[in-house]
């Protein structure tokens, strides 16, 4: 991502908050794994979206029209000893040189910096509740200025949440973001091809997971979320992550795995037969899910909504389960009574971007489902899950869990399936697996 891209975003944010305001964002904290070791650090997505800066302990401020500079970054100063242990640090001079920063300050001086920047500002745009440390700092500075208001001058009179503005911006992807998401999807697709090649009876779920993560790492990416490698009845647990079972002849393997490439996520699911061939009953359920997914994707275009997609998906799945005798009764009544819910209990998809479940409201200001716009990225992921504990279901269906998920970009004329090179038709999956 180019520095110009981050600068462009900051200018847009400055216009959104307006004159005499200041936007404040902090990055994520280091998270302790055990004792004195930490999980790998990842910047807060909102913070990174405007800065491109990926070191911990940093605070960003945007103050439109500020004579000393609109973009201020508080970071850790360079420390040769710390760099010996933990690696390179940009420091105060580095962020000015490399990140188009107007002014930089030591993060240790944040109390005085906040008061200085907030002075003469009428409004603070800051989301309280994400980071208690910075919450306290911002409120302390706000109260300090308020206590001295008799000295005259303009002081902040309100604190408003910054998240709605940011998340609305993040929903529409730029050309550079789209390119990164396409790359992330390609890496994810190759990982799933590898699953199809390596899936066979006797292999353990964790071995499949290891191959997926190896494929991610070979292309400079990391898992975007805990990979789901669920065989047999495990596939009926939506967020199954134990990944410890042995793959068995006759079972299905549901793999939900996506990578994060340069901060952008993919999210892909395929369900394949462990033996290389779907059984007759597995094909029957799979065909319903595939029909629902293809129908949903075909409907993606500007003006479409998740709500309408979900309604259509529910009808297709309910109709299909009724045709197989898994559900019985009048179609409209079955839908109204949500008879499908024991077998399809989640939504048709979600926003996708820097976060795998990306930010942004699903409803507009009137409380109605938000229309898709060009540049939005979504997942489309219907499923049917018939666990071994399902009641009043023929045993031949039990233990079948199927989900098919692709990453989809809304375009001006319709959509583009970013993960579209990964086959999902029964014959194509079987052909790949038979060549192993």
In the chain, the domains with their CATH numbers are 3-169 (3.40.350.10), 172-434 (3.90.230.10)
- Distance, in Å, from the CA atom of 78 to the CA atom of 424, rounded to the nearest integer, reads 51
Q: Give the pLDDT of residue 318.
A: 98
Q: Which DSSP letter does residue 380 get?
A: E
List phi, psi (to 5°) of 265.
-100, 150
The pair phi, psi for residue 384, each rounded to 5°, is -135, 130
- Provide the annotated active-site residues: 36, 239, 256, 267, 346, 350, 357, 381, 385, 403, 405
Query: Residue 170: its pLDDT value, please?
Result: 97
Q: Return d(Cα 268, Cα 84) in angstroms, integer.
A: 39
pLDDT of residue 150: 64
pLDDT per residue of the chain (436 residues) written in tens, 0 to 9: 899 999 999 999 999 999 899 999 999 999 999 998 999 999 999 999 999 999 999 999 999 999 999 999 999 999 999 999 999 999 999 999 999 999 999 999 999 999 999 988 999 999 999 999 999 999 999 999 888 776 666 778 889 999 999 999 999 999 999 999 999 999 999 999 999 999 999 999 999 999 999 999 999 999 999 999 999 999 999 999 999 999 999 999 999 999 999 999 999 999 999 999 999 999 999 999 999 999 999 999 999 999 999 999 999 999 999 999 999 999 999 999 999 999 999 999 999 999 999 999 999 989 999 999 999 999 999 999 999 999 899 999 999 999 999 999 999 999 999 999 999 999 999 999 998 7
d(CA 2, CA 52): 9
Q: Is the pTM of this model over 0.85?
A: yes
Report the pLDDT value the prediction gives residue 374, as an integer from 0 to 100: 98
Predicted local confidence at residue 120, as pLDDT: 85
Please give the pLDDT value at position 151.
Answer: 63
How wide is the angle at C-alpha 296 spanned by C-alphas 178 and 169, nearest 5°?
Answer: 35
End-to-end CA distance of the chain: 38
Task: List the beta strands (DSSP E) in 79-122.
Answer: 103-106
Report the C-alpha gap between 131 and 300 in whole angstroms: 37
As given in the structure block, the two tokens for residue 404 are: 């098919």
Q: What's the pLDDT score for residue 345? A: 97
């Amino acid at each position: 991502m180019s520095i110009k891209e981050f600068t462009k975003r900051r200018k847009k944010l400055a216009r959104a908050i307006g004159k005499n305001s200041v936007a404040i964002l902090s990055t994520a904290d280091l998270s302790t794994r055990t004792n004195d070791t930490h999980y790998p650090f990842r910047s807060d997505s909102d913070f990174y979206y405007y800065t491109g800066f990926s070191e911990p302990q940093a605070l960003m401020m945007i103050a439109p029209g500020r004579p000393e500079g609109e973009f201020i970054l508080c970071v850790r100063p360079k420390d040769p000893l710390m760099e010996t242990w933990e690696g390179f640090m940009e420091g105060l001079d580095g962020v000015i040189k490399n990140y188009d920063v107007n002014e930089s300050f030591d993060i240790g001086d944040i109390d005085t910096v906040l008061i200085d920047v907030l002075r003469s500002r009428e409004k603070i745009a800051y989301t309280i509740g994400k980071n208690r440390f910075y919450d306290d700092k911002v409120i302390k500075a706000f109260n300090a200025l308020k206590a001295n208001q008799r000295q005259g001058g303009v002081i902040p009179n309100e604190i408003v949440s910054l998240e709605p503005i940011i998340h609305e911006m993040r929903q529409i992807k730029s050309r550079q973001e789209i390119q990164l998401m396409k790359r992330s999807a390609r890496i994810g697709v190759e990982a799933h091809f590898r699953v199809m090649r390596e899936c066979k009876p006797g292999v353990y779920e964790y071995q499949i997971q290891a191959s997926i993560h190896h494929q991610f790492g070979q292309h400079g990416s990391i898992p975007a979320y805990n990979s789901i490698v669920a065989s047999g009845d495990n596939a009926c647990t939506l967020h199954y992550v134990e990944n410890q079972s042995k793959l068995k002849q006759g079972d299905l393997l549901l793999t939900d795995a996506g990578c994060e490439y340069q901060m952008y996520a993919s999210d892909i699911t395929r369900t394949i037969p462990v033996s290389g061939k779907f059984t007759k009953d597995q094909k029957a359920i799979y065909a319903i899910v595939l029909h629902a997914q293809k129908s949903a994707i075909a409907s993606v275009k500007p003006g479409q909504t998740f709500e309408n997609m979900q309604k259509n998906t529910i009808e297709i799945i309910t109709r299909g389960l009724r045709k197989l005798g898994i559900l019985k009764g009048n179609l409209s009544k079955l839908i109204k009574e949500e008879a499908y819910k024991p077998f399809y209990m989640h939504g048709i998809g979600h926003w996708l971007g820097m976060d795998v479940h990306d930010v942004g409201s699903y409803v507009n200001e009137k409380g109605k489902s938000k229309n898709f716009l060009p540049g939005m990225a979504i997942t489309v992921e219907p499923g049917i899950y018939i666990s071994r504990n399902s009641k009043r279901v023929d045993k031949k269906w039990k233990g079948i869990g199927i989900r098919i998920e692709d990453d989809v970009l809304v375009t001006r004329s319709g959509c583009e399936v970013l993960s579209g090179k990964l086959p999902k038709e029964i014959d194509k999956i079987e052909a790949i697996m038979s060549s192993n």
